[in-house]
Amino acid sequence: MPDVHRRRPPRAVRNRPTFAPIAALTVALLLSLLPALAGCSNEEAPAESPRLLLFGVDAGTWNILTPMMQAGELPTLTSLVNRGSYGILKTGVPIQSPQMWTSIATGVVPEKHGITRFTAEIPGTDREVPVTSNMRKVKAFWNILSEADVTVGIVGWWPSWPAEEVNGFVIAQRAWPVNWSRHGIPFGAARDRSGRLMVEDFDGRTYPEELYADFEPFIVTEEDVTTSELALLFPDPSFTDPAKQFHARWVFAKDKTFADAGLAMLKRHKPDVFAVYLQGTDVVSHYYWGYQRQEGFTVSPADERLYGRVVRNYYRYVDGVIAAYLQEVGDETAVMIVSDHGFETKRDLKERWERGEKIRTVEGGKDVPWDHGVDGIFIMTGPGVRKDNRLPDTSVVDVTPTMLAYLGLPVAEDMDGTATVEAFEASFLDGNPVTTVATYETGGPQGDQTPMESPMDEGIKEKLRALGYIE
Ligand SMILES: [Zn+2]
C-alpha cells in the first residue's frame, strides 16, 4: 500500500511531465534548474511548495463576488482575480452538486461518469443511499495524477467516500460525522455529555486509513463553534434566534474542519496537487439569500440586521480560508477556484412570490424565488497564467483538462471538456503545448460500482431533504 509519507524524488525529476513531448520536457527541465543556476533566486519560497491548489466553493457566484470585490470586502479573491484569469464556469442540468463536482473532477458529463443523482438504490433492495465514490465509472484527476507519479491531497470532495487509494492522501467527506440532534435533526459532528466526539468507526474515511487519527482532532462540532467565530457570520450572535443560526453553524463547523485539517495536512505532506471542497456558500445561500436587500428583497430592519449579511459574511470567511492557504505556499504555486454552479434570484418567480402565489423553483425543492444558477465561477493564477484576463465562458467539464494541461499532462480525447488555453500566456503555451491521449480509461473495469452503505446514510439523506435536494 502506498504510504502518504512516501519519499519524493528531487523536484527537477518530480516536475517532469511523464508523457510530455521531448521539447516540452527539455524546457521544463531547464526551467526547473534555473533557480539553482541563478544561485537560488527563490530562497524565500518554501522548499516544496505544491504546484497547484484547487478550491471548490459550492454555489460560488459572481452575483455575490463582484459587488463584494467592488466594495473591497474580499481582498484575497480580488487579488487572485487581478493576478489571474477568471470567468463564468457554466454548469449542466440538473444543477446538482454531486454530479457537477464529479464532472469537475473527471472532465466528463454525468451520463459518462455515472453519478447522476444525490442518492442511488442498492440493487435488489429498496434502499437508497447517498452516492459513493466507487460508483464513478471514469477516473478522477486524482487517479490520473497518481498514475503519472504526481502526489495529491484531496479533502472533503463530494462524493469522496470511500476514500480512494491515491499517490498521496484523501480525507473523505464522511470523515466529518453526521449525527442526529436532540430535536431529531441531523446536523453533523456532535459530542456526548462528557465532551467526547460521537463517531462511529467505519472504513474509508481517509486514505491511508491511519491518517484518520491525524484528522479526528480537527473535527469541529456545531457546539464547538465559538461566539467570536459565529460573529463572523452573524453581527449579533447572542440575540439571534438559535433555530435560524442552525444551518450556518453546522456547515461552518464542517467547512472549518476540512479547511483547517486540509491546511495542516498540506503543510505536513506537501502534495504536488491539493484540492479542498467547501460547502457553506451553498447552504447559507439556500437559507439566508432572501434576507439580502441588495438582491431586491423586502426585509424588515430587524431581520436585515440579523441575517442580511450571512451570505456575504460566509464569502468573507472563504476569502480568509484561501488567504491562510496562500500564506503557506509561494508564488510558484498555481491556484484554481471553481464552483459547481452559481446561485441567483429567480426574478420571474420573485414577482409571483411577492404577490403571495405558490411557486416551485426549477430544482423543485423550495418554494422560494432563489436557487442554483447555471453560471458558476472560475479563477486561476500561477506562473504562465495570464493576468487580469477575463475568459470566455467555460464549463465544469473543462476544469480537469485545464489542470492536466497546466501540469504538462495530456488531455484525454474522450473527455467532454477541453483545456482553457485562453488562461495561459503565449510563452507558457510555447513551452508547454497542450498534448492529448486517446483515453485514460485503460486497464479494464474500475471495480465494483455498487452503491455502498455507511452508518451516516440516513443523516445525510435527511440533510439533503432539508435542503430540498431529495424527496
Ligand atoms: Zn452545489
Average pLDDT over residues 296-323: 94
Say how many Å lie between the CA of residue 172 and the centre of ligand 1: 17
pLDDT (tens digit per residue) in 157-182: 999 999 999 999 999 999 998 877 65
Domain presence at residue 51: no
Count of structural domains, the chain: 1
Domain presence at residue 27: no
Say how many Å lie between the CA of residue 461 and the centre of ligand 1: 15
The pLDDT value recorded for residue 443 is: 74
pTM exceeds cut of 0.85: yes
Domain presence at residue 192: yes
The pLDDT value recorded for residue 186 is: 67
Q: Say whether pLDDT at 363 is over 70.
A: no
Say how many Å lie between the CA of residue 279 and the centre of ligand 1: 8
Q: Say whether pLDDT at 23 is over 70.
A: no
Give the domain CATH number at 306: 3.40.720.10
Q: Say whether pLDDT at 213 is over 90.
A: yes
Cross-strand bridge partners of residue 130: 119
- As a three-state string, the secondary structure of 387-405 is CCEECCCEEHHHHHHHHHH
Say how many Å lie between the CA of residue 66 and the centre of ligand 1: 19
Q: Say whether pLDDT at 236 is over 80.
A: no
More confident residue, 442 or 214: 214
The pLDDT value recorded for residue 465 is: 83
Please provide the distance, in angstroms rounded to a whole number, between the alpha carbons at the two ends of the chain: 40
Domain presence at residue 315: yes
Domain presence at residue 41: no
**Of 87-101, 234-248, 268-282, 358-372, which gets the smallest average pLDDT?**
358-372
Q: How far is CA 185 from CA 95, 130, 180, 244, 284, in A?
A: 25, 17, 5, 14, 17
Q: 296: phi > 0 → left, psi -120 to 50 → alpha, else beta; which?
A: left
Domain presence at residue 160: yes
Say how many Å lie between the CA of residue 316 and the centre of ligand 1: 18
C-alpha to C-alpha distance for 172 and 4, rounded to whole angstroms: 15
Domain presence at residue 164: yes
Give residue 295's domain range: 57-466
Domain presence at residue 4: no
Residue type, 429: L
Element (H, E) at 80: helix 75-83
The pLDDT value recorded for residue 471 is: 76
The pLDDT value recorded for residue 349 is: 86
Average pLDDT score over the chain: 87
Say how many Å lie between the CA of residue 9 and the centre of ligand 1: 37
